[in-house]
Each structure stands twice: as C-alpha cells, then as structure tokens.
Amino acid sequence: MQLRELDEAADKLVYDAGVVLVDVEGTICPSDFVENVLLPYAAARLRGYAVSRRFLPAVAAVLEEARQLSGGDPIAALEAWQADGVQTQPLKTLQGWIWTEGYIEGALSPPLFADALAALRRWRSHGVPLYVFSSGSLAAQKLFFRSSREGDLRGLFNGHYDTTVGAKTDPDSYREISESIGVATGAILFLSDSADEVAAASAAGFQIGHVAKETAPDRRWPTIRDFGEIELIRRQ
C-alpha cells in the first residue's frame, strides 16, 4: 500500500494513484439492492423463465448443466440454489438473463451512493481512468450502469472485470487486472467494502481503501465512510 498521507486537518485520505478500480455492491451501490431487489426479482421469475424458454438452445444447455451438477430436476435445483445463496454457474447465468430483461423493461433501476457517484464523476472529469471489478458478469455490470437511477453511467468507466480473471480474494486476480490495464500495481487505487478483497489487492501491491458504509471498519486498512474523504493525486 502506498497511501501518501493522512491530511488530518482536512480529514482527507490522500492517494498518489493514477487509476481507480472499484467494487460495486456495498461500495458504490447499497448492498440491499441486491438482497432486497435483484435476488427476489430473479427468484419470483426463475421457474417461469426456465419453463417457458426450455426449448431454446442456450436455456436448454443451462438446464442440462444444472441437471448434471444436481443429479436431479434442474429447475428444482436452481430454485434450491437460489434459496440457499449457492452461486453455481447455471444459476448465475439464468439470473443474469432474468435481470437483463428487467433492466431493459425498466423494472430494475439501481441506486448509487451519492458521494461515490460524485467522486467518480470528479475523477473522470480530471482524466483519471476508472475500472470496475465485480462478481457480476461483464454484461450484467454494463446493464447495471446503463439502467441506474442517475441515468446511463457506462461512459464513466474505461473497462470492467469480473471473476473470469480470478477470485476477488486472490492477489493474482489484481495482478492480472494491472497487467491488462497496463499500469503498475502500485499506481492503482482499489476501493471495496470487503476486507478480504482489500487484503488481496494490498498483497498484490495495490493502494487500497476499505469502504465502511455498511460494514465495520477493519483496523488494518484506511477506512472510508464517505468518498468525499478521498483526495486523489494523479501520477504523471
């Protein structure tokens, strides 16, 4: 971690970084949108969606994958995984399709924390490249930002990463992202509400901030309760 300094007088965390990488849920978006909106929306439509589209090749392939994983009725398995919070690939794929329809139809409109959005816009206006690293698929991320309550925000970001690069708790995932962006790990600031993700990014050499809007602070890391606390010095 290369946190440059803590400006106690101004209550600012000052980072010497040229790129910002952000998590989504709990970091720039309230986590209850996922728990109280997205997941119930998918759960209520999962069976009907799968049954009505079971003859489509893509849906049939997902159901076959679910059948092989569960050894039984694929739709019942998908519903059980949804209820238990087990994120299998067939379930994630089906949820993604259901949410896609919801975003396109305007039934789903995610909120962002006002202070986070203001900071992202400010950094973007200053020429700082912004990237997203989320467990949601790349397509789901882009739909999320296209459909936000603040309008289409896709233009804020230079790129998106999901767990196809690796687990968010694996330092190698962050090294791969750094290599993909073409910037040294020490020049990237990663912001997340997950202490485990922050630890992984720190181990990879990233600068980090633990966003504690909805989680308890972790004494190991700089704590950010409001994005207005962050002052970014862009590397030349």
Residue type, 196: D
User: CATH code for 3-29+110-233?
Assistant: 3.40.50.1000
How far separated are the first and last CA of the chain, in Å rounded? 19
How far is 23 from 121, CA to CA, in rounded Å? 16
Res 85: pLDDT? 86
Res 235: pLDDT? 53
pLDDT surpasses 70 at 9: no
Torsion of CA 215, 217, 218, 223, to 10 degrees: 120
Under 8 Å between Cβ of 224 and 6: no
pTM of the model: 0.83
Res 34: pLDDT? 84
Determine the 3-state secondary structure of 87 from DSSP: coil
| CB burial readout 57-79, b (16+ within 10 A) else e | eebeebbebbbebbeeebbebbb
pLDDT band for position 4 (cuts 50, 70, 90): very low
- The DSSP bridge partners found for residue 116 are none
DSSP-H helix ranges across the chain: 32-33, 39-52, 57-70, 74-84, 89-105, 114-125, 138-146, 171-181, 195-203
DSSP string covering 180-225: HHTS-GGGEEEEES-HHHHHHHHHTT-EEEEE-SSS---TTS-EES
Could you tell me which of 142, 119, 117 has the C-alpha nearest to residue 29?
A: 117
The label of the residue with tokens 């893509």 reads 58
What is the tens place of the pLDDT at every residue in 23-78? Answer: 999 999 999 998 899 999 999 999 999 999 999 999 999 999 999 999 999 999 99
pLDDT surpasses 80 at 8: no
The DSSP secondary-structure symbol of 4 reads: E
Q: What is the domain partition of the chain in residue ranges?
A: 3-29+110-233, 34-105
Residue type, 228: G
Class for the domain spanning 34-105 = mainly alpha
Cβ neighbours of residue 171 closer than 8 Å, sequence gap 6 or more: 200, 201, 203, 204
What the block records as the tokens of 203 is 């181990």
What is the tens place of the pLDDT at every residue in 118-175? Answer: 999 999 999 999 999 998 888 889 989 999 999 999 999 999 999 889 999 999 999 9
